Structure 1
């Protein structure tokens, strides 16, 4: 869920993520070694919004609003066929990425106080695979990943997860229509 190599999750943080189980066979080994979110229990995913609201603010009304927002967006198919990079980060690029952007925009329109990545980065839909300052590690991971590409996935839900101080736990899933 992070765009940089920081593993400094804060207890009570929440996030909205789209799980991508179809990616697990391709990315799991690299994520387990080089993605702090994977080591903290988050499956392969594309982030819709991180951080979202602090956990104490995610009440029944918030969950109902999330269900309404996500329920107004259609489920969609996505394909992963290319790798991309941010500084120190290797990711898989979803195609199309517009539906992910629309989900993020809809949540931020409702909760402008929760900008993507705290306003530090422009949102760019991606599935993080590895974070490392060592380009040789990212090069090796990318070469390996390419042997498992392309693959497709159906996106039909968004998960709300929270960080407990030791790991990320699933709170609720919201269906797309």
Structure 2
């Protein structure tokens, strides 16, 4: 679902839409479907692409920002479409997610969101418009799932590469440190 290969991404997982989003990945990009049980295909992108080979200092900086970020209660309501045909659902409220992106981008100014191609507009990517796929048809498919209420309580560092998508590290929002007690970058 992305043109970049071999890159890391900071995300907030959105388990409420995981079955639908994973299904879209299986349909469009099966080599990008993760076998890592901790990996969530449905997510709000916070910063992508991130540092390719994060250092311990990079991970500590992300941990500090995550610790300062209060967990966010949100609602996913209506399927919308960006001008490029990306079908998505924005979180309400969106401002706390944009603020988290800005905080991390400020700490890593060499990593602009979406490589500077797009602005900061928090959303969960669902599909891509085509003759057969529209915002209305996607909304119908998600009629039983939307609106969805969730709580963003963690930030994850994902690695994306065909055949090797996995969680590299994760942090609880509002403190509590990194799950597992360290931010070791695992298996790329």
Query: Please, what TM-score do these two structures have when normalized by structure 1?
Result: 0.85
CA distance in structure 2 between the aligned counterparts of 1:66 and 1:38, rounded to whole angstroms: 28
In the TM superposition, structure 1's runs of 4+ consecutive aligned residues that sit over 3 Å from their partners are 25-32, 36-40
Listed as ranges, the gaps of 5+ residues in structure 2 are 35-39, 175-188
Counterpart residue number, 1:118: 115
Distance 1:10 1:29, change over 3 A: closer
Q: How does 1:26-175 map to 2 (within 5 A)?
A: 26-34=20-28, 36=29, 39-41=32-34, 42-55=40-53, 58-86=54-82, 87-132=84-129, 134-138=130-134, 139-175=136-172
Listed as ranges, the gaps of 5+ residues in structure 1 are 1-5
Greater share of residues in strand: 1
Distance 1:91 1:32, change over 3 A: farther
Counterpart residue number, 2:11: 17
Q: Secondary structure at the match of 2:100?
A: helix
Alpha-carbon distance, 1:152 to partner: 0.5
Query: Please, what TM-score do these two structures have when normalized by structure 2?
Result: 0.80
Asked whether the 8 Å contact 1:26–1:148 carries over to 2, the reply is: no
Counterpart residue number, 1:3: none
Greater share of residues in helix: 1
Asked whether the 8 Å contact 1:27–1:145 carries over to 2, the reply is: no
Size of the aligned set, in residue pairs, is 167
